[in-house]
Structure 1
């Protein structure tokens, strides 16, 4: 039982890490798009 709980904790933390990484990737993509549109406007 303890081992199952430990595995579950690891899976939950992995999922949280994945969600955090995906959010960061989305933010980075949005920033890149914003920079591109700024460059286009400047040109």
Structure 2
């Protein structure tokens, strides 16, 4: 993930599995399709 502009904000699926019950963790999906963003 080093080629990503902000690699420190990305996690692996393994990390998600390990932290899925952590109440302090929020999983956010971000789609890069600007048309969907515009539609709301």
Question: What is the TM-score normalised by the length of structure 1?
Answer: 0.21
More relative contact order in 1 or in 2 (CA 8 Å, sep 6+)?
2
| Larger Rg computed on CA atoms | 1
Question: What is the TM-score normalised by the length of structure 2?
Answer: 0.22
